[in-house]
Structure 1
Amino acid sequence: GDNMKPHDKLIQELHQGKLSRREFLQKAVALGAAGTVSGSLFSTQALASTPKRGGHMRVATNQGSSTDSLNPILLTSGHTNFLHYTIHNQLTEIDAYGQLQPLIAESFEIGADASEWVFKLRKDVVFHNGKTLTSDDVIASLGRHRGEESASAMKSFMEQIVGLSKDGDHIVKIKLDTASVDFPVILGASSLGILPSVNGKVEAFDVGCGSYMLEAFEPGQYSKVKRNPNHFMSDRAFVDSAEIVTIADPTARTNALLTGEVDVIADIDSTTADRLKGR
């Protein structure tokens, strides 16, 4: 197990040859329609009361490596997967109820048929460096996952794209080689975060438009983030700052939680969960 979001785990399994493309799509659609265990927990517990703002959170993940990279194309570990969702935003997302929602996109719709998709972008998305997001950033970010040289885990999906164009600063049109009603689900993958571009190219991986801004990154060890005061959604980023640490050993990770060294841990097996219930 790991701390990846369910649909990112599907992507990794596809990349490793454990799933066919058809199996992936079937599972991804089921995930979007039926929700997930974590979604159920969020809706019944976390969303039951209004969260308080402020404070510092320490999170321990179970995956991390000295070769980890901030480049979203390289989905290297659970740690970087966590970061990609923290400092970046994608065109779409799966919400806490397991439903597909627009994120950077304000809305999306099918064109002539399901081989054409039109994404209308929000006009209030600002990157951490102050740059306002436009369709050029979306095209540059998604385009990196295509082509012979691409090492992206999403390559097989992104190469369905035969046309990637804009209609002004806030509309992106995507033409696929075949109809795909599931394509917006795929665009919520962590590695498909939208990054700022310069002259059609993405040059920095540490700047995103997510609800947290990166302060420090030590591959395989820790990441530090702080709340983005300019994020376009008010129901995000309730803590002021957070530190994500990698603790690979499950016993050490559990002990870190019990001693108060960290506040949240990932990848708890059923035995450990039972042990923690009464605490």
Structure 2
Amino acid sequence: MPLSTPRLTIDRRTALLAGAGLLGGGLALPARGQDGGAEAVYGPDDPQARRGGTLTVAIANEPPNLDPFHQAGDARTAITVLMYQGLMFEDASGVAKPLLAESMAVSDDGLTYTFTLRRGVRFHTGRTMTSADVKYSYDYVRNPANGSPGALDFGTIAEIGAPDDHTVVVRLSEPNASLPMTLTNRFGGVVPVDTFATPQARARLSQQSVGTGPFMLQEFRPQSHIRMARFPNYWRQGQPYLDGVLFSVQPNAASVLVALRSRRVDLALLARPQDAEQLQGQAGLNITSASSLRQCSLDLDGNHAQLKDPRVRQAIALAVDKDAVMQASISGKGKVLGTIPAAMQESWGAPISALPNQKPDMARAKALLAEAGLPDGFTMDLISIIGFEWMDPAGVTLAQQLAPLGIRLNIQRVELGVWLNAYRSRNMRFTFNDWGTQPDPHILYYRHFHSQPRGADFRNWNNAEGDRLLDAGMATADPARRKEIYVEFQKVVDASVPTVMLFSPDLVSVAQQRVRNYAQHPTGWWFGLAKAWIAA
């Protein structure tokens, strides 16, 4: 049973200049190959691939719904990327590559992006995609009245034009070096005009997909499964190879292992990477491990109780032994973080040595609490999410670590839907979080940490210096200067502690031997199923 560990590295200069169309004014990311560069997305092509079969995937965290515009959770995004596509694709290397766009050009001032659309693209509804659909989709997302969590990601768009059926012109109010990555798959999917024209439209998206992706929704039975079928009119001729995909909802991590051993499922991404040890010696299984863009973190709501005082937040950060939390949570099968996910540390991360609040210092923590007028500590609820199994041992460990400060934790476990409602309403309190990002620092930080109205500031941080740096990072094209800005931003995060990024768990996927050509994307999303196939 082989165990391979591919290394993900993100070349900042290539990612920024190519992804933002700044390789010199004019055409960037042109079409290549017979499918306009499509061979570069979703993973490698396989000339030996065969058509047929349904692949069963075990998932332990079920999405509340399958609405690609209004549901923010990674549990949704991981699955809907197979049904919905954006103009661009978030390549694992950090480069935004053409997907529904065939090519992209950018003006010399960086304010106008012109996209030439791929021809012959069909929606699952049977309609042919035109520029009017792209304009409708992105105008819908960027309108705050429509309630999409992605509205703020599109906030620099001033106008979208559709001069002909195959051209889309996006005009910005200010430079945004991350626009191409914004027009990818988390909230950048394209749907037909008037998709949301009726009050029932959002609910119907959990019954019928309307995207352009390689698979279309057949059935969503909550607490049981999500079934997809091959889209016969998919624009990439001959793909996907699979007739269908069945996402089988499992009650916990243990049941995922049982399903793999019994061959009831073909593929799983282990929520607990340490569980791979239990599969050692199991014939017929292939295990792959890689660095991820996911972070397991602790969020501190700046409007909540004692957390309003930055000295309290600093004290908590200084009491946390991240290595011990990671050991308890995932048996050390990951990487301790500073202020950025593991797969982005080399390209965008501030050196850990430059972040003084990232290592335990109990004496300083006690002094800060005393300075805040809380020498005897206090009692506080810690929120964890049911189904995210790392959070249970992490909560116990964190309670032990904060006890010497006199901070007493009451652990409250809530359903994902309840947690997401609190997240959207900016009532996060003191909570564990588990989220992934596209490989771009603007996408990672801006919406989460910039104050309103330009950002959502979910943690009620409201930090003026952080805002200034995030605005500068968005507007800056030079890769070296851009990194300097984001390093300075991470120092502000470290000093003020709106969040404590704990660790990135290793991304461990397990597949039966009959599964071929599956490439695991570092987001943890299921892109690779578009090119996977089943051997006889």
TM-score (norm. length: structure 1): 0.76
1:200-254 CA-to-partner distances (Å, cap 9, x unmatched) read 9595632111111111112443211111121111364221111112224111112
**Quick one: structure 1 residues 201 and 103, their matched pair in 2 at CA, closer, same or farther if it must change by over 3 Å?**
farther
**Superposed CA offset, 1:150-188 (max 9, x none):** 332222111211111111111111111211222111211
The correspondence for 1:174, drawn from 170, 173, 176, is 170
Q: State the SS of the aligned residue for 2:144.
A: coil
- CA change 1:171–1:201 in 2 (3 A) is farther
Query: What residue in structure 1 maps to residue 141 of structure 2?
Result: 145
2:160: which partner in 1?
164
**What is the percent sequence identity of the aligned residues?**
25
Question: How far did residue 277 of structure 1 move?
Answer: 4.0
* Residue 122 (structure 2) aligns with: 126
Matches within 5 A, 1:28-107: 50-65=48-63, 68-95=64-91, 99-107=95-103
* Residue 244 (structure 1) aligns with: 247
What CA deviation, in whole Å up to 9, does each residue of 1:245-271 have, x standing for no partner?
222411111211111121111234332
State which drifts further: 174-183 or 261-270.
261-270
Aligned residue in 1 for 2:228: 225
Distance 2:260 2:74 in 1: 18
Cα contact 1:69–1:76 (8 A) shared by 2: no
In the TM superposition, 1:181-260 aligns within 5 A as 181-198=177-194, 203=201, 205=205, 206-234=209-237, 236-260=239-263
What is the aligned partner in structure 1 of residue 269 from structure 2? 266
For 2:281 and 2:195, locate their aligned partners in 1 and report how far apart those are by CA, in whole Å. Answer: 56
- Judge conservation of contact 1:140–1:200 (CA < 8 Å) in 2: no
CA distance in 2: counterparts of 1:258 and 1:210, whole angstroms:
31
* C-alpha contact 2:141 2:187 (8 A) present in aligned 1: no
CA distance in 2, matches of 1:199, 1:57: 30
Structure 2: distance between partners of 1:60 and 1:149: 36
Q: Which amino acid aligns with 1:84?
A: T
Check whether the contact 1:61–1:79 (CA below 8 A) recurs between aligned residues.
no
List runs of 5+ in structure 2 lacking aligned partners.
1-11, 20-41, 283-536
How far, CA to CA, are the matches of 2:71 and 2:142 in structure 1? 15
Distance 1:234 1:201 in 2: 32
In the alignment, structure 1 segments of 5+ residues that lack a partner are: 1-25, 34-41
Residue type of the alignment partner of 2:131: S
Q: What do the CA deviations read for 1:56-113 (whole angstroms, capped 9, x no partner)?
A: 1111122215xx2232122354442133211111111124655421111011110242
Q: CA shift at 1:199, angstroms?
A: 9.1
Q: How many residues align?
A: 240
Question: What letter is aligned with 1:215?
Answer: Q
Tell me if the contact between 2:71 and 2:149 (Cα under 8 Å) persists in the aligned partners: yes
Give the match for residue 23 of structure 1: none
C-alpha change, 1:179 and 1:208, in structure 2 (3 Å) is: same
Distance 1:113 1:164, change over 3 A: same
**Is the partner of 1:175 in helix, strand or coil?**
strand
d(CA) in 1 for partners of 2:176, 2:72: 27
CA distance in 1, matches of 2:276, 2:118: 41
Amino acid at match of 2:61: Q
Retained in 2: the 8 A contact 1:226–1:242? Answer: yes
1:54 to 1:231, Cα distance in 2 relative to 1, 3 A: same
Contact 1:84 1:191 in 2 (8 A): no
Secondary structure of the structure 1 residue equivalent to 2:254? helix
Q: Using the alignment, how far apart are the partners of 1:111 and 1:265 within structure 2?
A: 43
Query: Does structure 2 retain, via aligned residues, the 8 Å contact 1:62–1:78?
Result: no
Which whole-Å deviations, capped at 9, do the CAs of 1:108-127 have from their partners, x for residues lacking one?
A: 11024222111111111011
Query: CA 1:229–1:71 in 2, change beyond 3 Å: closer, same or farther?
Result: same
Q: CA deviation at 1:53?
A: 2.1
- 3-state DSSP of counterpart to 2:62: coil
Shift of 1:47: 5.8
Structure having the higher Rg: 2
